[in-house]
Amino acid sequence: MKRALLYRKWASAFSLVEVAMALGVVSIGLIPLLGLLPIGLNQEREAMFQTSRSHILSQISADLGMLKGGDSDHYFSAAQFYDDRGERLPDGAEGAVYEVKLTPVEAEYPGSGVPDAPSARLKSVHVEIRYPGIREAYRFTFSYFDASRPS
């Protein structure tokens, strides 16, 4: 009777070989998943950068649309600073993540030589957005209507 109980107890347990094989199978399945983790984190970070950049560009576009004649020199001369969410910070404020430089561009459009033509109000600007830790800046060029001239 004792022998039957011992045999039943021994037969219901896992052997060390079975446990080692199960761990091997599980680890072979988990290694590719762990290899994808850095790729997913990089994609998430890049998506965050793209969202912040688009928010910065929309703010700049709105600002340029409302500029009056004398304000444009100051707007283009100084670098602008933004936080990690793309919100503009006052000059010299801490927590700046993005540095933005704006450069006006002399562009030729059809009818731009005519003083009262609508295309005479059309201006172009180069936008350069820098993020610390990334050597290359993101560069954009877009056009806007100069609000300082009467329509």
- State residue 17's pLDDT score: 94
120 assigned to some structural domain? yes
4 assigned to some structural domain? no
| Burial per residue of 42-60, b for 16 or more beta-carbon CB atoms within 10 angstroms, e otherwise | eeeeeeebeebbebbbebb
6 assigned to some structural domain? no
Q: What DSSP state is assigned to residue 138? A: E
116 assigned to some structural domain? yes
**How many structural domains are present in the chain?**
1
Within 8 A by CB and 6+ apart from 115, the residues are none
- State residue 150's pLDDT score: 56
Strands of 39-114 (E only): list them.
80-82, 88-89, 98-105
36 assigned to some structural domain? yes
3 assigned to some structural domain? no
Within 8 A by CB and 6+ apart from 130, the residues are 98, 99, 100, 101, 137, 138
Q: Spell out, as residue ranges, where the chain has pLDDT lower than 50.
A: 151
pTM (two decimals): 0.68
- State residue 5's pLDDT score: 59
Strands of 44-147 (E only): list them.
80-82, 88-89, 98-105, 122-130, 138-145
8 assigned to some structural domain? no
Q: What are phi and psi for residue 68, nearest 5 degrees? A: -105, 165
- State residue 39's pLDDT score: 93
151 assigned to some structural domain? no
Structural domain harbouring 81: 13-145
